[in-house]
Structure 1
Amino acid sequence: MVKHTMGETCVPINPQRVVTLSSCTLGNVLALGVKPIGTTNEVYVEGNSLTSMNGDPKGIKLLGLSQPNLEATLLLKPDLIIGVDWFKPIYPLLSKIAPTVLGEIDYVNWQRHFSFVAQSLGKQEVEKELWERYYQRIQKLKQALGSRYQGKKISFVTLGHNQIYIDAKNSFAGSILNDVLLQRPASQNRDSVYGSFPISLEELKKADGDILFVTTYSSGGNQFLEDKQREPLWKSLKAVQENHVYYVDFTSWAATNMLGTDVVIDDLYKYLVNTF
């Protein structure tokens, strides 16, 4: 029996045909060593694989972006559906297809959803091993960085749909930067309800730091970034002038799942250790 946002559901031990609803659930299931047969993925980009992270997307049927195609889901004959609480409106229909569990999705507490997925799959021992591995990698990265970034400020921003977003201290990537003990600019050293907050072009100084990580989502975000790079305010940023701007993958740095932690840590090695 698994407790979730819709009550309690009896789920199979060692399910063989799992369907995931949301990219964060997908990444957690893959991290735990289970390959789902189908998934939704709200950050899917046409032409790219289901996930750019270290999971194997081959053989996973894309059932929809923000909402699953229920007929396609039924045809897959899943024995367990795992998702997040924004699928509450269609829960009665999903639960007729297969046992369905919906966990709380709180972007600033992504660890909680990982634990929920592990419990639903009966993979608590694997979860424990993955946390041990995560903190071992964090410790090794801290040792590799040494004191070279002491006093340095690390900034992370996302551009998309004509808007600039700053990742707060309690975002997914922010939590990893915090674990590594990397410091954030004063404007970013705060918590936000959704882990990020928008700024205007006139507030671009809030995005500055000694190191600036930048990501975009959607083709509109890429064009918006190209436009902003021509702006005098962008060119005036310290990180831009000192050539310390690094472009990273959105689906990994905003993953909110255990699978994405490896990519963020790899990028921190790549740009902060190997380029020093």
Structure 2
Amino acid sequence: MKIVRWLRFILLVIISFSIVSACSSRSTQIAPTLDAAANCRMIQHAVGETCVPLQPQRVVVLGVPTLGNALALGVKPIGSLVYFDDPPPYLAALIADIEVIGKEEQPNIEKILALQPDLIIGFKHSAEAIYNQLSQVAPTVLDDWEGYPSWRNHFNFVAEVLGKTEEAKQVWANYEQRIQALKKALGNRTQDLEVSFVHICCGTIDIDLQNSFNGSILADVGLGRPPAQASPIAGGITSLSEERLMDIDGDVLFVATDGDESAQKLAQLKQNPLWQKLKAVQQNRVYPVNYPTWRGGNPLAADAVIDDLFKYLVEKS
């Protein structure tokens, strides 16, 4: 009996120690130690509060808008998700040595772990399900991304997380300077000009509305939109049937395709009698633009969109 009581005592000690250790481990994840807190800042984000490094050196981002934001702020991530097979021109020279950790919204956690990041930045809608896993790899913050209409808010969020709010002010100042330069170059041509944007891909025809990424840039310049594109909706993007092709009618039409299937769809669309009725087609003012750029959702992409507007609305006019 003494032996049994002794074994029970030992077992009780082991269980008690395990519980204390587990509680200690959980509390470490919730709140940083005093030493760690001295080197990090508490950031409120979409799924909680996280202490992020004061000067992160190994940042992983889970979206192209976040990637562009970090680069615009002078921070080069070591890994990123991508949404494209070929990088858009505005990013190509900047991301050659950045590790691709997945495509679309499917990050490879093993790849992220191998990179040994000290900070992960992502979106709530795509990463909340794996937030706990990511948080075990590195401090992780998620933004409440609401689609491309929220691209400005997301940039400011990334700037706060990275401790680059002063640099962000300069980025916005540069953006405003370019907008004003374009408005000056266009002069009074903005008063009567309607600019349309259409993306043709995967069997669908999409138009970006007033509150989309490129739509907000066009609005800042003061350029008009066709009636079907002049109102905001959630997400800023809507799809059309070929019967509603006249909804893309405008004085100028920017067309974005993405891959061979998309190019074939455009070629087919050009055979539609309604295509020939478009003002931009009749006036030979249909211009191809890069799809990942015109939906880039970050200041670097915005700068490239403004380049296109200078090229096609000023230099070619």
Please classify the TM superposition score into its range, dividing by the shorter chain length: over 0.9
Which residue matches 1:20?
61
* Distance in 2 (alpha carbons) for counterparts of 1:212 and 1:37: 37
The Cα of 1:256 is off from its aligned counterpart by 1.1
Q: TM-score, normalised by structure 1?
A: 0.96
Which residue matches 1:153?
194
Which residue matches 1:105?
145
Q: Percent identity?
A: 49
Of 63, 69, 87, which aligns to 2:108?
Answer: 69
* Distance in 2 (alpha carbons) for counterparts of 1:111 and 1:149: 24
1:264-275 to 2 correspondence within 5 Å?
264-275=305-316
Say which SS state the counterpart of residue 191 (structure 1) adopts. coil
* Distance in 2 (alpha carbons) for counterparts of 1:7 and 1:254: 29
Of 130, 135, 138, which aligns to 2:179?
Answer: 138
Which residue matches 1:79?
118
The Cα of 1:219 is off from its aligned counterpart by 3.2
**Deviations 1:196-238, CA, capped at 9 Å, x for gaps:** 1111101100101000011123432222112112222112211
Report if aligned partners of 2:190, 2:222 keep a CA contact under 8 Å in 1.
no
Q: How many residues align?
A: 272
- The AA in structure 2 aligned to 1:157 is V
Report if aligned partners of 1:25, 1:84 keep a CA contact under 8 Å in 2.
no
Q: Higher RCO, 1 or 2 (CA under 8 Å, sep at least 6)?
A: 1
**Deviations 1:89-115, CA, capped at 9 Å, x for gaps:** 000000000000011112212111101
Report if aligned partners of 1:74, 1:97 keep a CA contact under 8 Å in 2.
yes
Which residue matches 2:130?
90
- Coordinate RMSD, CA, aligned: 1.1
Q: For structure 1, which runs of at least 5 residues remain unmatched after alignment?
A: none
Runs of 4+ in 1 over 2 A off after TM superposition: 217-220
Which residue matches 1:259?
300
* Distance in 1 (alpha carbons) for counterparts of 2:172 and 2:282: 38
Say which SS state the counterpart of residue 147 (structure 1) adopts. helix
* Distance in 2 (alpha carbons) for counterparts of 1:218 and 1:74: 32
Q: For structure 2, which runs of at least 5 residues remain unmatched after alignment?
A: 1-41
- The AA in structure 2 aligned to 1:80 is L
Q: TM-score, normalised by structure 2?
A: 0.84
Which residue matches 1:53?
90
The Cα of 1:267 is off from its aligned counterpart by 0.3
- The AA in structure 2 aligned to 1:91 is Y
* Larger fraction in helix: 2
